[in-house]
Structure 1
């Protein structure tokens, strides 16, 4: 049996990509599987219920929202007790030559330190708890696989597999950070994500704190230590950064942009924008438009003179 270990360096030394070999949903009830092994790498995701995955060395309990990545060749079995049915989504994959479909695994690791770190491990399995990102990607992947075998569909499947591996790698990296005792980084990362997802709303530091379940004073302290900026200033930077993008790249009226970035007061928005950029919103938009216009207009004048 040819094995396709996730951690074999040859997959990143050559022009290879991951390839799905099998996938299925299954509701398990009172099930005791015999020990077996796959040539492929297997992802077992618990949608509902609980189960136990046993290797020759260990018994691993799993519940809703948890998943395990079992390496190729690892002997294992699934156990589901009678009173705790378990619904799972399983995906098995190997590696194949790219054949014109990119990015390759080598290209992916080159742009993702988390994936590079994951592939450097040597372990039988990786057990992770999913905030829902991995499951959404898995579902999209399975539905795309069911859709057909057109060229565009094959490319989409590969992009989704690539996304899946990077999401798993990021989760694995975050878990290692947490195990190393840097729990505060996890809270700060969640706070940053919340700010980027809600900057267009009327949020304050207390709202961010509530979202990550920490006392506002404590979160603000660890946020400043980790990010070298207060949470309030970080939120302001995000908002003004988005405002600059809208002023430069869209025709949205300046009077409305304050609402787009979560600042209900247009006067406050103008004052904050000038404080942080040195320009009023109107002056900033004009300077961008002048820069865009200058070079094309000069080229037109030169052409007219030559004619």
Structure 2
């Protein structure tokens, strides 16, 4: 049996758009890895260095590291001090949709997400004292939320609070955010494919159409996606569809058959079989379990 290797890409959980690990004390990764979403890493204790792209930076207590989707990074901390950090990973597409009423904050999110960042390491200074309780209270609010809707609201509130704090830290030297280098960064093919799927996952999937619109052959696109993510286009599309289905089952009264259609699966028996394969229960049982959990 071949030896198990670490996955280069750490993907977000199937059923959630956000992930927070508060004040981790376990040993850090010593290998290069990346995430499907944006990662904000707050260092509460320890010292060492981090590599992100072509940047090598020194980190210590009070440091904030910001990694873009699918950006390889590596952190190596000194064994002489305890390394304590909080890791927040989220799907920027979902947070972006929550910022309709905050145009300036949305522009800043898109800057952190889609631009070639001149700076991915910040020393929070006095703002570190604000970040810690914000992370702590946010983690507790998400943990104790009594419904899926409430949990999603708590995730959004925490994300917006952290985004506001980072914006303050980014402009702490007096430089106007509008004057920062906002050159669009080149998207990896995996990101282009994921953005295409985000726009079209509710439709019947056509690999040839996707490849044509991304100006690459179908076989090359499939190969690149697998190389960059460690998964296949089909697996990612299934995950995206089922994530949406799980949210609709828990938060709406839509008939199960209609939910299948909404996620691009018009074959109802196939939808039910696929859902059960991934969640262990039928869509109807999943909805019933979620409803009993919230009451």
* TM-score when normalising by structure 2: 0.46
**Structure whose alpha-carbon radius of gyration is higher:** 1
* TM-score when normalising by structure 1: 0.44
